[in-house]
């Protein structure tokens, strides 16, 4: 997949495109309906293209209420490529872009840079300064600029549900620790990523060495508890380890900073992931966070957590 940072980077000889537009945080099942729609247009000789934004628009428009992100830009791009998208235009979301009118966006980006022939969006799609543009205006602009607008019903939140899948709903699931519901809405496990840093090494002393994953601020981390998950380091991207993951402040040992600590099950002596970027894919919540009376009951519980995690992950 080709990636262009800014519309000026798009090749002038780009074939006519089928385009979809959005923040696409999470690239969830609803988003995938849009991706599938533009990929289907390849039979008409159109190039399937995504227009997305970085940072998230709300981080610029209303930073005080900007959402915690479900995906990094790198992960989003990987998911686009896996869905069959041929090109992604990443628009740096700046105050200048926020102030751009809907008409100018359609003229300069959709028609001018991408040569769009079809544009697929959800029914609630808004664009342009103060979100003044809607699907009706987009269709009017399409008639002037030479592209059709395909208004798409997105995937429902669940079987028989009337509500569509949304990034907002998935964030609530993740915050509540319901990573299984989040995985159903995402069509994959929820992932957090971060550099593995040194902690207090208490896990190793207890016989359960962990990778302390420093998730950058601004990303959605599951609610406090212990989870079954898959873990990998950036040095071996093809190797996933079954893991028991603790998210929280380790209340047994006092008030510590909130952490994501992943124990790779059956890794002899633990994994040396220090300095690497680790990915943690959350599969199921095993239990909530508990303050134990001492080390012995904690260690006994950790053995049970590993046993449950292994069973959940099919080990």
Pairing of strands 241-248, 225-233: antiparallel
Q: Which of 178, 182, 199 is nearest to 190 (CA)?
A: 182
Q: Give the angle 52-55-59 at the CA atoms, nearest 5°.
A: 125
Rounded distance, CA 314 to CA 4, Å?
Answer: 40
Which residue has 């849009």 as its token pair? 34
Catalytic residue check, 261? yes
Ramachandran assignment for 219, one of left (phi > 0), alpha (psi -120 to 50 degrees), beta (any other): beta
Cα 200 versus chain centre, distance: 29
Report the 10 Å Cβ neighbour count for 136: 10
Residue of 180, 205, 261, 296 with catalytic role: 261
Catalytic amino acids? Answer: 261
């Amino acid at each position: 997949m080709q990636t262009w940072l800014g519309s000026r980077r798009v090749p002038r000889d780009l074939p006519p495109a089928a385009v979809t537009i959005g923040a696409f945080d999470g690239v969830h099942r609803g988003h995938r309906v849009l991706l599938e729609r533009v990929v289907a247009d390849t039979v008409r000789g159109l190039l399937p293209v995504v227009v997305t934004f970085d940072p998230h628009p709300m981080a610029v428009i209303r930073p005080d209420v900007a959402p915690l992100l479900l995906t990094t830009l790198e992960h989003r791009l990987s998911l686009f490529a896996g869905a069959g998208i041929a090109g992604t235009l990443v628009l740096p979301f700046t105050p200048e872009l926020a102030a751009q009118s809907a008409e100018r966006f359609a003229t300069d980006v959709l028609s001018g840079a991408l040569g769009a022939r079809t544009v697929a969006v959800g029914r609630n799609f808004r664009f342009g300064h103060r979100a003044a543009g809607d699907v009706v205006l987009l269709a009017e602009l399409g008639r002037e600029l030479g592209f059709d607008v395909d208004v798409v019903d997105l995937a429902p939140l669940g079987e028989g549900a009337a509500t569509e899948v949304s990034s907002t709903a998935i964030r609530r699931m993740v915050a509540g620790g319901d990573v299984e519901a989040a995985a159903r809405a995402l069509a994959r496990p929820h992932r957090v990523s971060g550099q593995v840093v040194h902690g207090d090494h208490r896990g190793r002393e207890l016989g359960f060495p962990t990778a302390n994953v420093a998730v950058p601020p601004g990303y959605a981390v599951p609610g406090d508890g212990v989870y079954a998950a898959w873990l990998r380091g950036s040095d071996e991207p093809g190797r996933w380890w079954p893991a028991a993951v603790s998210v929280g402040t380790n209340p047994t040992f006092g008030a510590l900073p909130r952490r994501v600590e992943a124990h790779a099950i059956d890794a002899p002596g633990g994994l040396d992931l220090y300095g690497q970027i680790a990915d943690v894919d959350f599969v199921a919540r095993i239990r909530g966070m508990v303050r134990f009376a001492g080390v012995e009951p904690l260690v006994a519980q950790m053995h049970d957590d590993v046993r449950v995690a292994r069973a959940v992950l099919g080990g």
